[in-house]
A and B are shown apart, each in its own frame.
Chain A
């Protein structure tokens, strides 16, 4: 049975999963949330630091206006109410937190009460999307790689103070697949607003899942929070594991304990980190070093104007390029991929330049989407030129993919790249010569083909490829054969 996203997955002995997601996303600001240090991933450890983000005595935070701008863009895209907001201190001791408190928004967040519509038409409520600072990054050396058994730990404070927005959904999600759809759609929105690059593998988008199960229409069950979900795949696997774990507990007469659990990707299971009783008392109180954030209406309307079209609208536009085909499940998947990776402009320009929409979609959703950052930086004219070579038969599909990989890798002129591979398209003349020779060499096969045995198209195409060391374009060969048969 296929799970239907958006509908309840209550097939598991009549249990209904109830899921809410907390998504942390790093904002793409030039500088950190409270100081002028560079916000960059992958730099030499502890090079983007200053007295403020190291929490040195006497230093004070100053709020980055661009972070507020991005936070409001996210709020706008998620249909939130944008409100005057306040920062609090969340107090707990941990070596990657320079001040041993995190500056975060608590009961007065900037964005509240929004929603996100998924590609399947279902709607997930967004409780809040608030601003906070990221922590440093700890590497535990020795032991099991966790803080408690490490020999020593190394801390990189480059990430300390990087601006985050935490988006908290309502518990409206009912299946692992719907959770995946939500996370993917949210990622597309974060990229579309320009607020984040949404890279899960670099940790710029991190997802925690709150999972509980219940009998349909019952009160909510006890939830567990699952951490360490580093990919959409882990998200789906962890939620499925957790649902069945909780169902097993309940069906064997036990009770689910409220816990924070860690997803172990290798073992494929969640492991208890701490219980509700062991939860930290964060002693939240208003951050006295900052003042209330009250964006005026001019700023808010500028932000609303800066927020581009959302993924749902963009998918609709791409589907329209494909005509009735755009509505099929396979095409819809490809369209979603293109939009998710922010490549709809690239594809649309190619189509407007005369490339057939199905071809433009296939290359953009597959090869280009495998390298989304490079694809976004691609010269659209070069991309279009390459697709045109494939479309008019001067490159085979296989060859076009090879050239596209080059183009993504280092750019350049597609025709020149093709030549470098020895992919000079066989001109119509030389192809014609090759076919003359084939007919002469295989007279019986040719007669059967002329008599209507189409299976021999494959034979002749194969021979043509062999004769030209794969340089011939299969489609072009077939067309030439058909032309001669008349």
Chain B
């Protein structure tokens, strides 16, 4: 697929119109998304209007922005004014936000064109997009396999060539894990660099919006468009966002790369082999690669599955049938709330609300939530320690390649293990990227992960650019749309 930056350049220079690009992608979605089910809503009219506006600016000699005319998919937990925003849940039935998320506004201001809302695990809780009330998304590389999750729709849309860019949210790996499973680039920024205003919360202290793309440069460009202080988000960092575009090609000569055992041991041998291969690439490019160990990372998953559900149990309280979305009547207000939540939430969401409620309950708080917060602090300290001897860390993104649909739906613990390599970065608030690095013997994509300390996005993108240039060639997915072409 033509990269987003190339498309934008064509539009800005007047070579190709935004309308032509958007029409091409809408046609691809109409033709191919039946098999993939990446989209929950396709915004034909709004996208055409926006493309026409971009073309009008170009014709008037004005700059429509760095992503001029580039079609973008938005995970359906990002609020879009007047457009249904479902979180793949029945409980938001019929609800249209009266406002746009900050990232949606910034994308529009950069000339990007939102073409649709993408599928996800309900309220971003899951690792396979099977927890969607509207049916699963298929992995473009193997229709009987999951795309990963929770941003499976966005990952699959980019993977199949339906859009060159998409947004996801990453609470415990929900961008990086599906990116790895679908063979695309997926990046989680430093907590606080991208505004969460208008992102429907799963776990507020962990959620962060990030880009999906086919190239590292596209991901960096999309990140830069989104990043920067937002007065509507108190956790948004009040400082200029780190700039990466100017240093993408600076290479890794002299960089120190750590290989934490905890992000490699225990993953499938084929995945581990790709990480080792990536390490060799960096070594050959002049980096110093050192194996290391950060034992605290092993506790990340346990801490995460207390903290995230605890916050979620509170964040999801507001879906009570009183003000918006689904309402199932009851004899009194309490019965109405009960019936609404019983009918509106799926099994995984209920499971996490129960877990989180329990973890915060009187008498259990210290043992669960309190203890998990301490573990979180230990993990942050352990990362800080590791970054005294390394500029970046390299590891696997996921323990395995894409697993078959239905394989883990009845085994939540097995599903949770999908996040083992990604969760630590969320707990620490650090940036991390997954980039495609070859496939397994069955031709399923493998992702390798580059991690760095807070606000070190430029380093992450630099290292990823080197890996990208040496990655094994990408083959077209089985469900590729007409718009797909090799990066």
Q: B369 at the A/B interface (Cβ < 8 Å)?
A: yes
Q: B432 at the A/B interface (Cβ < 8 Å)?
A: no
- Complex CA–CA separation, A99 to B316 (angstroms): 8
Indicate which residue in A57, A99, A284 contacts B87 across the interface (CB closer than 8 Å): A57
Offer 5 A-B interface pairs, CB within 8 angstroms, sorted by A. Answer: A57-B318, A58-B198, A283-B357, A283-B365, A291-B235
B 216-260 contacts with A by CB, 8 A = 231-235
Does A58 contact B317, Cβ atoms closer than 8 Å?
no
B 84-103 contacts with A by CB, 8 A = 85, 87, 92, 95, 97-99, 101
Per-position contact with B for A267-291: 1 when CB-CB < 8 Å, else 0?
0000000000000010111001111
Does A95 contact B322, Cβ atoms closer than 8 Å?
yes
- Complex CA–CA separation, A285 to B372 (angstroms): 13
A 207-261 contacts with B by CB, 8 A = none
- Complex CA–CA separation, A57 to B98 (angstroms): 10
Given A283-B357, A288-B204, verify A58-B199 contact (CB < 8 Å): yes
Given A58-B197, A95-B320, A99-B317, verify A285-B97 contact (CB < 8 Å): no
- Complex CA–CA separation, A147 to B99 (angstroms): 32
Does B324 contact A56, Cβ atoms closer than 8 Å?
yes
Q: B288 at the A/B interface (Cβ < 8 Å)?
A: no
Given A55-B318, A57-B85, A101-B314, verify A91-B235 contact (CB < 8 Å): no
Q: A353 at the A/B interface (Cβ < 8 Å)?
A: no
Indicate which residue in B95, B197, B313, B360 contacts A60 across the interface (CB closer than 8 Å): B197
Indicate which residue in B99, B231, B337 contacts A93 across the interface (CB closer than 8 Å): B337
B 279-335 contacts with A by CB, 8 A = 310-311, 313-314, 317-318, 320, 322-324, 332-334
List of A residues within 8 angstroms of B98 by Cβ: 51, 56
Q: B79 at the A/B interface (Cβ < 8 Å)?
A: yes
Tell me the nearest residue of chain A to B317, going by C-beta: A100
Does B360 contact A285, Cβ atoms closer than 8 Å?
yes
Q: B205 at the A/B interface (Cβ < 8 Å)?
A: yes
Does A60 contact B232, Cβ atoms closer than 8 Å?
yes
List of A residues within 8 angstroms of B198 by Cβ: 58-59
Does A95 contact B333, Cβ atoms closer than 8 Å?
yes
Indicate which residue in B92, B99, B314 contacts A283 across the interface (CB closer than 8 Å): B314
Q: A62 at the A/B interface (Cβ < 8 Å)?
A: yes
Given A285-B314, A289-B235, verify A51-B99 contact (CB < 8 Å): yes
Q: B196 at the A/B interface (Cβ < 8 Å)?
A: yes
- Complex CA–CA separation, A59 to B314 (angstroms): 14
Interface residues, chain B, with chain A CB atoms under 8 Å away: 77-79, 85, 87, 92, 95, 97-99, 101, 196-201, 203-205, 231-235, 310-311, 313-314, 317-318, 320, 322-324, 332-334, 337, 357, 360-362, 365, 369
List of A residues within 8 angstroms of B333 by Cβ: 95, 147, 153
List of B residues within 8 angstroms of A289 by Cβ: 201, 204, 234-235
Does B95 contact A57, Cβ atoms closer than 8 Å?
yes
List of B residues within 8 angstroms of A91 by Cβ: 313-314, 317, 360
CB distance from A289 to the nearest CB of B (A): 5
Does A56 contact B317, Cβ atoms closer than 8 Å?
no
Q: A200 at the A/B interface (Cβ < 8 Å)?
A: no
Q: A63 at the A/B interface (Cβ < 8 Å)?
A: yes
- Complex CA–CA separation, A101 to B313 (angstroms): 11
CB distance from A284 to the nearest CB of B (A): 8
Per-position contact with B for A95-111: 1 when CB-CB < 8 Å, else 0?
10011110000000000
Q: A61 at the A/B interface (Cβ < 8 Å)?
A: yes
Tell me the nearest residue of chain A to B231, going by C-beta: A62
CB distance from A133 to the nearest CB of B (A): 14
Does A155 contact B322, Cβ atoms closer than 8 Å?
yes
Per-position contact with B for A115-158: 1 when CB-CB < 8 Å, else 0?
00000000000000000000000000000000110000101000
List of B residues within 8 angstroms of A63 by Cβ: 234
CB distance from B313 to the nearest CB of A (A): 8
Indicate which residue in B204, B314, B318 contacts A98 across the interface (CB closer than 8 Å): B318
List of A residues within 8 angstroms of B79 by Cβ: 57-58
Tell me the nearest residue of chain A to B337, going by C-beta: A93
List of B residues within 8 angstroms of A61 by Cβ: 234
CB distance from A100 to the nearest CB of B (A): 4
Indicate which residue in A99, A100, A281 contacts B361 across the interface (CB closer than 8 Å): A281
List of B residues within 8 angstroms of A98 by Cβ: 318, 323
Indicate which residue in B92, B196, B317, B332 contacts A101 across the interface (CB closer than 8 Å): B317
- Complex CA–CA separation, A98 to B235 (angstroms): 21
Tell me the nearest residue of chain B to A87, going by C-beta: B234
Q: A477 at the A/B interface (Cβ < 8 Å)?
A: no
- Complex CA–CA separation, A291 to B236 (angstroms): 10
Does B234 contact A56, Cβ atoms closer than 8 Å?
no
10 smallest beta-carbon distances between A and B, as pairs: A100-B317, A283-B360, A288-B204, A288-B205, A58-B79, A57-B200, A58-B198, A58-B200, A99-B318, A95-B322
CB distance from B426 to the nearest CB of A (A): 13
Q: A187 at the A/B interface (Cβ < 8 Å)?
A: no
Tell me the nearest residue of chain B to A99, going by C-beta: B318
CB distance from A143 to the nearest CB of B (A): 10
List of B residues within 8 angstroms of A51 by Cβ: 97-99
CB distance from B191 to the nearest CB of A (A): 10
Per-position contact with B for A54-94: 1 when CB-CB < 8 Å, else 0?
11111111110000000000000000000000000101010
CB distance from B95 to the nearest CB of A (A): 7
List of B residues within 8 angstroms of A58 by Cβ: 77-79, 85, 97, 99, 101, 197-201
- Complex CA–CA separation, A384 to B142 (angstroms): 90
List of A residues within 8 angstroms of B314 by Cβ: 89, 91, 101, 283, 285
Tell me the nearest residue of chain A to B233, going by C-beta: A60
CB distance from A204 to the nearest CB of B (A): 25
Indicate which residue in A59, A93, A95, A99 contacts B197 across the interface (CB closer than 8 Å): A59
Does B200 contact A281, Cβ atoms closer than 8 Å?
no
Given A58-B101, A147-B333, A148-B332, verify A100-B320 contact (CB < 8 Å): yes
List of A residues within 8 angstroms of B204 by Cβ: 288-289
Per-position contact with B for A184-208: 1 when CB-CB < 8 Å, else 0?
0000000000000000000000000
List of B residues within 8 angstroms of A56 by Cβ: 97-99, 324
List of A residues within 8 angstroms of B318 by Cβ: 55, 57, 98-100
Does A281 contact B362, Cβ atoms closer than 8 Å?
yes
What 4 new A-B contacts, CB under 8 Å, besides A58-B197, A101-B317?
Answer: A55-B318, A60-B197, A285-B369, A289-B204
CB distance from B5 to the nearest CB of A (A): 29
CB distance from B185 to the nearest CB of A (A): 26
Given A58-B101, A60-B234, A93-B317, verify A285-B310 contact (CB < 8 Å): yes
CB distance from B100 to the nearest CB of A (A): 10
CB distance from A31 to the nearest CB of B (A): 14
CB distance from B458 to the nearest CB of A (A): 25
Given A101-B317, A147-B333, verify A60-B357 contact (CB < 8 Å): no
- Complex CA–CA separation, A283 to B369 (angstroms): 10
List of B residues within 8 angstroms of A89 by Cβ: 314
A 19-65 contacts with B by CB, 8 A = 51, 54-63
CB distance from B236 to the nearest CB of A (A): 9
Tell me the nearest residue of chain A to B204, going by C-beta: A288
- Complex CA–CA separation, A439 to B321 (angstroms): 85
- Complex CA–CA separation, A51 to B318 (angstroms): 13
List of A residues within 8 angstroms of B95 by Cβ: 57
List of A residues within 8 angstroms of B200 by Cβ: 57-58
- Complex CA–CA separation, A360 to B205 (angstroms): 60
Does A93 contact B334, Cβ atoms closer than 8 Å?
yes
Pick from A55, A59, A285, A290 the residue with the most CB of B within 10 Å: A285
- Complex CA–CA separation, A458 to B101 (angstroms): 81
- Complex CA–CA separation, A254 to B333 (angstroms): 36
- Complex CA–CA separation, A100 to B324 (angstroms): 13
List of B residues within 8 angstroms of A148 by Cβ: 332
Does B334 contact A291, Cβ atoms closer than 8 Å?
no
